[in-house]
A = this chain, B = another copy of it.
Amino acid sequence: MRFERIKTPGLAHLSYFLCSEKEAIIVDPRRDIDVYIELAHEQGVEIKYVLETHRQEDFVLGSKVLQEKTGAKIIGGRHNLFSHCDIQLEDGEYFKADEFTFLSLSTPGHTPESHCYGLYLKNQDTCWGIFTGDTLFIGETGRTDLPDINKTGENAKILYQSVNNKILGLGDQALIFPAHGSGSVCGGAIADHDQSTLGYERSSNPVFLESETEFVKRKINERIPRPPYFDLMEKMNLDGGWRMEQDLAHIKALSPEEFKTRSKDSIVIDTRSPESFASGHIEGSYNIWLDGLAVFGGWVCKRDTPVYLVNERNEDVNQALLMLSRLGVGRIKGFLAEGINKWRNQGHALQSSGVLTAQELHSNPAHFDVFDVREVTEYEQGHIQNAKHCYVGHLVHYLKSHKPSSKPIATICSVGHRGGMAASIFLRLGYKNVYNVLGGMKSWEALGYQTMEGTKKEKQGPPKKSIDNAAQWGSTH
């Protein structure tokens, strides 16, 4: 038996490779499947099954391509969203795969089809571990607003029961294997240790410590943004995902002149750090740090949006391609060879923007129109007095109806990444005197400066459907 957890950086997605001497099972694979193939070859086993816990919303599944190339069968629960599966297991059904036995558990709440799988080794009666998908995370549970924002509470109730009535029965000893883990881009309150057990969760995860009413109330209050690409993902995953469509050979290294010409009417994304971006960037470019592409790429690109990249290093194009491909968005056409240095050295125009330290902002707060672009719950837990709030993803829409004052604009988030993205959005819209507070609220608080708590009254963002929230998204930046 070999068991491996495969982390997908940026997405903080976890998939699993499990094999006996004969066959391998992959749980919730991502679209770029090489890692699974290599493990299977290394172990000398056939990939026989792909287990899906639910129709993922935040990345393109690799079930389909694994099925096509290796002949593996896709397994899901008994629900019409699993109708692309070769095998649909009933709730409570046992499924045997060589030396492993899986107990199929229907655990709706996060989504209606959400499914967990208890794993039993050889002839043991005690459950060894549980693939919990987005139902139960370490220290957290999946969001419940996705199917219908108006039924967030209702679904929270369903999830509460799934977790407490179905999963909990597998015993304190059972290991927890969720579909998302903690990570720098991973949000909510998912814990930063990546191993846990049902028993440990029982004593530390709110879903087990709160009453149903408390839990439902908390979930209703989560209000995590719902990225616009979730719809695309749900469509792509309805059949088990999609194979990769673009490879590195399609992406051109472009000289500054060519870059300028070709990117004219396309989206330019600058993946460098906010500091580098501020000290000089191409006018009209978005600033989304490299790891952040795995989430925020989906806020600015649609499926076939042509994208041109400005990277720190030429090699970063590889990672950028993976990040966007996993989301199924953007078609990278080229990158600026040698990055901004060559551009500058050839005398092409650069725009620069401002940065502020927390100290500088604190010394004269009234001088700035401060925009806090974190998620609403982060804002409510403590923000700078008079800071306006608008989540970075909703900024374009928000500014259509809310004009900033004539003061210099200061964007702030937790440490500076989302602030940088927000600054780039202001600049694209033609605002001047835009400053990103490097270090963000983390630095502000470390310096002991005053913050305000409290509910945010103001309405904001795009209409109903998309003000909504999204569970495992980059909320900590």
Tell me if A263 is interfacial: C-beta within 8 Å of chain B.
no
Q: How large is the interface on A (under 10, 10 to 19, 20 to 34, 35 or more residues)?
A: 35 or more
Task: Count chain B CB atoms within 10 A of each CB in A196, A273, A279, A359 and give the residue with the most.
Answer: A279
Contact B317 A41 (CB under 8 A): yes
A171-B172, A249-B69, A347-B446 given; A192·B1 CB < 8 A: yes
Asked if A253 CB lies within 8 Å of chain B CBs, one says yes
Q: Is the CB of A443 within 8 A of B248?
A: no
CA A174 to CA B254, docked complex, whole Å = 32
Question: In the complex, which residue of chain B has the Cβ closest to the Cβ of A125?
Answer: B203
Q: Which residue of B lies closest to A126 (CB)?
A: B203
Beyond A1-B192, A3-B195, A278-B279, is A203–B249 a contact (Cβ under 8 Å)? Answer: no
Is A368's CB within 8 Å of the partner chain B?
no
A129 within 8 Å of B (CB atoms): yes
Quick check: A70 and B252 within 8 Å, CB to CB? yes
Chain B positions within 8 Å of A212 at CB level: none
Tell me the chain A residues, 74-125 only, with Cβ under 8 Å from chain B: 121, 124-125
16 contacts between A and B (CB under 8 A): A40-B253, A41-B315, A41-B318, A45-B253, A125-B203, A175-B196, A197-B197, A197-B199, A275-B280, A341-B439, A345-B443, A345-B446, A347-B439, A347-B446, A347-B447, A347-B448
Additional A-B contact list (6), CB under 8 Å, known A45-B253, A276-B276: A34-B249, A41-B253, A43-B337, A46-B254, A129-B195, A276-B279
> Residues on A close to B: CB < 8 A?
1, 3, 22, 33-34, 37-38, 40-46, 65-66, 69-71, 121, 124-126, 128-129, 171-175, 192-200, 202-204, 247-255, 258, 273, 275-276, 278-280, 314-315, 317-318, 335, 337-338, 341-342, 344-347, 349-350, 352, 355, 357-359, 415-416, 438-440, 442-443, 446-448
